[in-house]
Structure 1
Amino acid sequence: MDIIGIIPARYGSSRFPGKPLADIAGKTMIQRVVEQCKASGILKKVIVATDDQRIYDHVEGLGHQVYMTSPEHASGTERCHEALKLDGGNYDFVINIQGDEPFIDPKQIQLLSSIFDRKTEIATLIKGIHSLEDLQNPNVVKALKTDSGLALYFSRSPIPHMRNIPSEDWMRSHQHFKHIGIYGYRVDVLAKIVTLPPSPLEIAESLEQLRWIENGFRIKTAITDIETIGIDTPEDLRKALKEMKL
């Protein structure tokens, strides 16, 4: 099974402009993401998909493969699809790795790829929630799944709602999961989902994956016990550097 890893990377983040080129202990953020992806050992190719010449020149200068994509894309999924077409290679699956995950563990990429089979349409990772603070934080996306691992729903609110149980007891009453934002798409499915218009649930929650569920696509999940450290703001980076002791 041939899998390509694609890393969407925009320069124009409103909360952290130039984020992919931010220095992290002597290496840029995008450099660290590429290196972690390659360390997984299961990707036939790793490419960066960007809309900015500065990022393009930097990645190319490091000797990694990069494609210039349209600045009009509304999501990393759309950017991945264009990069896949530009590459022109034959692959079974695409893994979309966030460009602001410099500390992603290669084992998470391996885990995601391990649940791919010919029937898999879309796949992603989830992780157990262990604090009430995370459960109630709208920036932590929650996930519900079936016993077989298919995603039922994603929300910024705590799900399921624990009726007649005080909120302080919710953690003891149910195993809650949060979504880890790495996706795998079967190549033909990726070509279909980028043509879908925004859906009502997606608009309500501001979560792209709900568009796919509303349109009948199945999202397989695998449970990881490895925490991820996404970087949305300069303050997130300062905290991450302290936590990682870099």
Structure 2
Amino acid sequence: MSFSVLIPARLASTRLPRKPLADIAGLPMVVRVAQRAAQSAARQVVVAADHADIVDACAAHGVHALLTRSDHATGSDRLAEACALLGLADSAIVVNVQGDEPLIDPSLIDDCAALLAQRPDCVMSTAAHAIEQRDEFLSPNVVKVVCDALGRALYFSRAPIPWWRDGHASGMSELSVPRPLRHIGLYAYQVGFLKRFPALSASPLETIESLEQLRVLWHGHRIAVHVSDTRPGPGVDTAEDLARVRALMT
């Protein structure tokens, strides 16, 4: 199996300004992400940046980076442009590793790519892990996913799904068995589908939930879900997240 890792990186982050260049133990965060991704089985790791400052920072540390348009609406749009710039075949597989995941597990990248390679019925694959904490299950900041019998996503939501009726009636002191699943924002794509994705109309569900992957399901495509036995390391969305990751890296 051969695949590439693409890392979208946008300088204009609203919650954490210039987030891709935030220092983590002496290196820009996007470089840390690329270094972790390079420990996977990917044949190449490429940063798809929206600003020359990111490209320059990557080049200074030996990381391959492409300058893409600054007006892309989504990270998937940016990756589609990167696929075209790299001349990747429609049959190729790319894994989208978020630029704010400096503790991403390289084996999770491999698992996600391998799953898509084994599932010709799906245009994408992603990952999830079991939720063990009630507060996490109820939080709208935690995206949940439910799957069908073949391990394909039925729906993603910020709401607590599946809703355990009897557990709720008794006060929801514990979670259902099997455990609900937390979605991990890691995606593998067939390049041909990724190139077509920007032309798909936005789904009303995508707009309501603010979850881009719902556009895929809305248009009748399938997403395979790899259920990991372990939780991923924390990502970086806020200054508090950055401090936490810096402490872990130190």
TM-score of the two chains, using structure 1 as the length reference: 0.94
Compute the displacement of 1:113 (Å).
1.6
Moved over 6 A (4+): none
Length, aligned pairs only: 244
1:127: which partner in 2?
Answer: 129
Which position in structure 2 is the counterpart of 1:226? 230
Please say if 1:117 is aligned against 2:129. no
> Which residues of structure 2 form unaligned runs of 5+?
none
RMSD: 1.5
Shift of 1:170: 5.0
Question: Which of the numbers 178, 181, 194 marks the counterpart of 2:182?
Answer: 178
In structure 2, C-alpha distance between the alignment counterparts of 1:172 and 1:12, rounded to whole Å: 40
Whether 1:155 and 2:157 are equivalent positions in the alignment is yes
After TM superposition, the structure 1 stretch with the greater mean CA deviation from structure 2, 188-197 or 206-215, is 188-197
Alpha carbons 1:127, 1:224 under 8 Å: kept: yes
Matched, 1:108 2:112: no
Q: Is residue 217 from structure 1 mapped to residue 221 from structure 2 by the alignment?
A: yes
- The corresponding residue for 1:145 is 147
Give 2:195's aligned amino acid: A
Offset at 1:118? 6.1
Distance in 2, Cα, partners of 1:118 & 1:212: 16
Given candidates 237, 241, 244, the residue that maps to 1:236 is 241
In structure 1, runs of 5+ residues without a counterpart are: none
State how far apart, in whole Å, the 2-side matches of 1:234 and 1:54 are. 20
- Aligned-partner SS, 1:130: coil
Percent identity over the alignment is 39
CA-to-partner distance for each residue in 1:43-89, whole Å, 9 max, x for gaps? 12110001111111111222221111111111111111101111114
Q: TM-score, normalised by structure 2?
A: 0.93
Instruction: Indicate conservation of the 8 Å contact 2:24/2:249, yes or no.
Output: no
CA contact (8 A) 1:162 1:170 kept: no
- CA shift for structure 1 position 241: 2.8
**Cα shift at 1:25:** 1.1
